[in-house]
Structure 1
């Protein structure tokens, strides 16, 4: 009976719609089958909702195309390593992954940037000059479904590869603003930070890489009074990042080479199993480097004190940069990063970027293992809440991490579902249509 109704649907869909539904229900009831529902965090799109989502993608795509960005479509499936090589634990726990029939570890893409950079490494010559890409499509994150959010959602964005200048930072920020204007959210507010500044500050105190990341990850808490430097020091000591001597020593051993030989003998066959791309010797060498990199409490306290003083600065970009220059003048840190930031702000002003809707927050950090310089988020106000609709920044290490040359890059991505929700909640107050159109766009 089901087969017969399916054949009738193929030949004449509308006349038999009711008949198909009745036959299908009767068949399911006769065998007492449970309904197979949607997965958690997934949704169906149809009708007006689907049209609005497609329209929003098209609006953002038109804005990026007008700026000279080349549309690119990358595979939904990529190798797991593409996404974890740089981001590591920040994204690996959220991957939808499996091993295919060839034994290759595969993942549904959780974002576009790594795929775009993979395409660049495989197809583009660094000497060809800056490359501009734009994209849009579904991405998947297993932990994104908490709080009613979607585990499959739609991103639209752009990447600029091969330009390290402050003008490139301004270009990406301004393009992000233009995309939001096209989407009906011209009054979005921007929060800008700069991980490069904090890295420069912490490097001046010779902090190890793990300690730097630890401090930056906790800087917002300390800068805004949610914790004490002494508490941060205690946590760092407990985790083994800091020791009282400033350096771990090995009694009776004079060189790192001797330490490596000693550890290889000590570990024995435990390092003989497959270890990915690294040999046992490489792993032991890394352990020794990490041991030698242990930071002393005095340097840690001084670094965190200066970083937190900078982190408390937020507000008008020009005022924040002036205040930051005064703070750095009392230290040994060179102010060149501040000058680059000032140049970016000047470019933005010349472009007509909405500076009155922009805050420079030196404690703002996102993707600390990923971004290397300017970072930003765009927010809209929904009632008493500020909701992030997207963001981005500079990730100068990613091209090299994925097998390419030492090529700088930066970009941004927006979540279409968040933009649609923001438009719906703001429509009455702003006179915006449900599809995001506006008289001021």
Structure 2
């Protein structure tokens, strides 16, 4: 796939050659608008991302932004097309815009998004194989594969039967790559007995879900004529009450804490990791078999694609720091200098409903950081 043009030209020319290879693999070219509605971006990533966006408004007052990535815009265009709900794969190449400190705010992104495939394990393996082709085509052979699977963690938390707020807190912290062991222990320490002026409210909220808690606290604040307290929103106050009610109702059981710690300590190649996960499930009598079966099926498809699974890193604690991932996650790093990922992606089955789809649609994909890959290839003596 490496051509004379890619050897003598810059990142854009190489990325065009890469895009051609994606088209030959059956992925249609997607070209979403550079200017995107800001609301979906903020809904998916939270208000914290606002400081990284380049925002404007149109004549109607709608807030718009220069696209900070291409995954969501490609997904939105797919949902608006006649292909919505059908298995379809897209490839893309174009500039994205995001404030990144001292680095350029405009940079090239290439990648693939695959929607609607029900053979999830095979689709996951195909994404990783194509991502590896992208690096090898540019002369990078010393690539480290780092993988994880948030579906395994979610299955474990569900099997433990924890209070809803514990599940929400732990999954949220896992997705954001927070030190879970420290967080769990700190929260457990907060369960000391005592009474306060909110005792009745806490009792009313105990065991409820976030939606019920938010409704109750909103009603109470409306009666009091307040919309925020100390700079905190109604939702933030409801979350705090819900957390306190759960802690009041009972701390995270020590056996659950021990199981989570054991789970998060699993780090090996995928084959060895699967054996450790089976042993954990047997020892704890927790029903996480379906998630492990899916994990092992993916590993078999990876091997069938020619991926050296024995030289692939897997860790149960690996995550990409984004809430919308629902399963397989991966990053490819240059072994010589692996700080920044060259390619990164994973499964995000929940994104389509978040973007307005009335039915769930399977989705998996990856992004190529073109300039990062170009720099790494140049330093290793590959095309430049």
Query: In the aligned structure 2, how far is the partner of 1:81 from the partner of 1:50?
Result: 41
2:313 to 359, 362, 365: 359
> Are 1:139 and 2:90 an aligned pair?
no
Task: Give a deviation string over 1:288-330, Cα, whole Å, max 9, x none.
Answer: 9956983565436444432221221112110111111101212
2:369 paired with 1:411: no
Give runs of aligned pairs for residues 340-351 of structure 1, distance below 5 A: 340-351=294-305
State the match for 1:5 in structure 2: none
Higher relative contact order (CA 8 A, sep 6+): 2
- Residue 3 of structure 2 corresponds to which residue in structure 1? none
- The reply on whether 1:422 has 2:380 as its aligned counterpart is no
Contact persistence 1:59–1:179 (CA under 8 A): no
Q: Given the two structures, how large is their TM-score scaled by the length of structure 2?
A: 0.81
Partner of 2:282: 329
Distance, in Å, in 2 between the alignment partners of 1:391 and 1:351 is 18
Correspondence for 1:307 among 227, 236, 260: 260
- SS at the partner of 1:107? strand
Tell me the SS of whatever aligns to 1:249.
Answer: helix
CA distance in 1, matches of 2:217, 2:17: 62
2:250 counterpart of 1:294: no
Task: Tell me, yes or no, if the aligned pair for 1:59 and 1:183 is still in contact at 8 Å.
Answer: no
Q: Does 1:206 align with 2:162?
A: yes
Q: Which residue of 2 aligns with 1:196?
A: 151
1:22-61 aligned within 5 A: 51-61=9-19
| Aligned CA distance change for structure 1 residues 424 and 168 (closer, same or farther; 3 Å) | same
Residue equivalent to 1:160: 114
How big is the shift at 1:200?
1.2
Measured at CA, do residues 116 and 109 of structure 1 come closer, stay the same or move farther in structure 2, by a change above 3 Å?
same
The answer on whether the counterparts of 2:213 and 2:242 sit within 8 Å (CA) in structure 1 is no
Q: Secondary structure at the match of 1:329?
A: helix
**Alpha carbons 1:195, 1:373 under 8 Å: kept:** yes
Tell me: CA distance 1:232–1:417, structure 2 relative to 1, closer, same or farther (3 Å).
farther
Q: 1:350 to 1:257 in 2, by over 3 A?
A: closer
**2:202 touches 2:242 (CA, 8 Å); kept in 1?**
no
> Match of 1:388, SS?
coil
Which residues in structure 2 correspond to 1:80-91 (within 5 Å)? Answer: 80-89=38-47, 91=49
8 Å Cα contact 1:216/1:368 also seen in 2: no
Counterpart position of 1:130? 87
Change beyond 3 A, Cα 1:261–1:416: closer
What is the DSSP-based 3-state SS (H/G/I as helix, E as strand, rest coil) of the residue aligned with 2:53?
Answer: coil
Q: 2: CA distance between counterparts of 1:174 and 1:96?
A: 34
Deviation string for 1:318-364 (max 9, x for gaps)?
Answer: 01111111012122232211110111110111111233441111110
C-alpha distance in 2, partners of 1:259/1:59?
51
State which of 30, 54, 58 in structure 2 corresponds to 1:72.
Answer: 30
Describe the SS at the equivalent of 1:153: strand
* Structure index of larger Rg: 1
Provide the secondary structure at the position in 1 that maps to 2:109: strand
Tell me if 1:110 matches 2:77: no
User: C-alpha deviations, 1:193-227, integer Å up to 9, x for none?
Assistant: 0011111111223343531234415777467xxx5
Are the counterparts in 2 of residues 314 and 359 from structure 1 also a CA contact under 8 Å? yes
2-structure distance, mates of 1:300, 1:95:
41
| Number of residue equivalences | 355
Asked if the contact 2:188/2:252 (under 8 Å) is kept, the reply is no
Aligned partners of 1:85 and 1:402 also within 8 Å: no
1:228–1:399: structure 2 CA closer, same or farther, 3 Å change rule?
A: closer
Stretch of structure 1 that moved more, 323-332 or 82-91: 82-91
Post-superposition shift, 1:171?
Answer: 1.2
SS at match of 2:364: strand
Provide the C-alpha distance between the structure 1 equivalents of 2:53 and 2:217, rounded to a whole number of angstroms: 38
Measured at CA, do residues 259 and 70 of structure 1 come closer, stay the same or move farther in structure 2, by a change above 3 Å?
Answer: closer
Q: TM-score, normalised by structure 1?
A: 0.71
Instruction: Decide which of 125, 128, 145 is 1:170's aligned counterpart.
Output: 125
| Cα drift, residue 123 of structure 1 | 0.7
> Are residues 263 and 119 of structure 1, via their aligned partners in 2, closer, same or farther at CA, if it must alter by over 3 Å?
closer
Contact 1:250–1:259 (8 Å) recurs in 2: no
